[in-house]
Amino acid sequence: MPMPNIIAFDGPAASGKSTIAYQLSKSMGYLFFDTGVMYRAVTWKVLNDGVPVEDEAGVTRVAEEVLIEVQPASQDDNRTNDVLVNGQDVTWEIRKAEVEEHVSAVSAYPGVRKAMTAQQRRIGLAGKVIMVGRDIGTVVLPEADLKIFLEASVEERARRRYQELVDRGEKADLSEILEAMRRRDKVDSSRKVAPLRAAEDAVRINSDGLTIPEVLQKISSLIQP
Ligand code: DC
């Protein structure tokens, strides 16, 4: 296919989509935009402000009012970007277990999704972009020129998430992570608005047992056959 201007990159938690999409964006000179950080940033703000996660109206108000900025990485600590919430750097805060635990519930609220989707669409339509998430090919940018849906078994994804935490020097329990991942998959795929699913015209890739370069090779062959 000719060089795709907009690439939608979806898949479940810890499928490797951010790592792969980031590397692809570097080799193509495209903007990498991970939409998961926006839902995480809203969740962090909700928890930080003491808004109960069950308070849909309160959570939606936070999503509508919060200023989330995603900027080029200012520090060499493995981050792909800086994530700022009302000017405060929360890049690592939004990766913590407390945020992980509540992010699926927050991202299931229609008003939260509406606020985030509008910002994501504006950024995506500017082009030369690889946008990563759950609903990019189906809802945010259905006009994307190339849609990838990256899958991996829940066991493999839990192992990867466990390794990520250990590598960052954080405490981690593999069986707890596996359970949490199963719960999150269920909420993400069964929510009413924009559930996790592959677009009909998405290319599905299963990354079980594949290395990062092998997955990148598969995607490159789609772009330059
Ligand atoms: O990709 P991630 O683990 O950083 O995503 C965090 C959460 O945000 C995940 O539970 C699902 C949600 N999410 C979403 O609903 N839609 C997106 N486009 C991206 C993430």
Q: pLDDT > 70: what percent of the chain? A: 100
Q: What is the pLDDT of residues 4-16, one digit of tens each?
A: 999 999 999 889 9
Specify the amino acid at residue 33.
F
pLDDT at 208 over 80: yes
| Residue of 39, 123, 182 to test ligand 1 pocket, by largest number of atoms within 8 Å of CB | 39
pLDDT, mean of residues 62-85: 93
Confidence band (pLDDT; 50, 70, 90) for 221? very high
The number of beta carbons lying within 10 Å of the beta carbon of residue 122 is: 9
Sign of CA dihedral 10, 16, 20, 21: positive
> Is 7 touching ligand 1 by the criterion CB < 6 Å?
no
214: left (phi over 0), alpha (psi -120 to 50) or beta: alpha
Tokens 């990520």 belong to which residue? 164
pLDDT at 193 over 80: yes
- Taking the centre of ligand 1 as the mean of its atom positions, its distance from the CA of residue 184, in whole angstroms, is 10
Q: What is the mean pLDDT of the chain?
A: 93
Question: What is the Cα–Cα distance from 32 to 9, expressed in whole angstroms?
Answer: 10
Confidence band (pLDDT; 50, 70, 90) for 165? confident
The CATH classification number of 6-220 equals 3.40.50.300
Q: What is the pLDDT of residues 92-127, one digit of tens each?
A: 999 988 998 999 999 999 999 999 999 999 999 999
> Is 120 touching ligand 1 by the criterion CB < 6 Å?
no
Nearest CA to ligand 1 atom 1: 36
pLDDT, mean of residues 176-198: 89
More confident residue, 3 or 7: 7
Question: What is the Cα–Cα distance from 174 to 60, expressed in whole angstroms?
Answer: 33
Q: What is the pLDDT of residues 29-46, one digit of tens each?
A: 999 999 999 999 999 999
Quote the tokens at residue 110: 């229609």
Nearest CA to ligand 1 atom 9: 104
CA 20 remoteness from chain centre: 12
pLDDT at 225 over 60: no
Q: Are 209 and 147 within 8 A, CB to CB?
A: no
pTM of the entire predicted model: 0.91
Confidence band (pLDDT; 50, 70, 90) for 170? confident
